Amino acid sequence: QVQLVESGGGLVQAGGSLRLSCAASGRTFSSYAMGWFRQTPGKEREFVGAVRRSSGSTFYADSVKGRFTISRDNARNTVYLQMNSLRPEDTAVYYCAAGDSYSSREYVYNYWGQGTQVTVSS
């Protein structure tokens, strides 16, 4: 079992930056691939990016590529989402997730955090 908790969300102006954190419990954090997703009311949950458990390789959705960066600190059982050049359309609840596979598909992830709200004003 893994428990995830996100933090760092808030209100920011367009063009600004936020850094989200996802802290995981347990001693098995390094064995999981980690993903970030976001969801806006009335829409399906959208893939943001993911990081592999071994190599640390990352992959991002086209909508955030070049602006968002995922990193992980296994010693601290934490994964980060650095968000730069934020746009109003980035407004959403952001979730971190842990799974056995490195994937953009939601069903691959077994554990989810509670989410943190990110609001970008124009």
- pLDDT tens, residue by residue, 8-63: 999 999 999 999 999 998 766 778 899 999 999 889 999 999 998 877 899 999 99
Q: Which residue has the higher pLDDT, 75 or 95?
A: 95
Q: Is the CB of residue 92 less than 8 Å from the CB of residue 40?
A: yes
- Predicted local confidence at residue 53, as pLDDT: 81
Q: Is the CB of residue 68 less than 8 Å from the CB of residue 11?
A: no
- Predicted local confidence at residue 56, as pLDDT: 81
Q: Mean pLDDT, to the nearest integer, of 77-99?
A: 96
Asked if pLDDT for residue 7 goes beyond 80, the answer is: yes
Q: Is the CB of residue 28 less than 8 Å from the CB of residue 4?
A: no
3-state secondary structure of 4: strand
Exposure b/e, 34-43, CB count within 10 A at least 16 = b? bbbbbeeeee
- Predicted local confidence at residue 27, as pLDDT: 64
Q: What's the Cα-to-Cα distance from 32 to each of 16, 55, 110, rounded to whole Å?
A: 30, 12, 10
Share of residues in the chain with pLDDT > 70 (%): 98
Asked if pLDDT for residue 98 goes beyond 70, the answer is: yes
- Predicted local confidence at residue 2, as pLDDT: 86
Q: What's the Cα-to-Cα distance from 118 to each of 10, 28, 107, rounded to whole Å?
A: 5, 28, 23
Q: Is the CB of residue 60 less than 8 Å from the CB of residue 51?
A: no
Q: Mean pLDDT, to the nearest integer, of 84-101?
A: 96
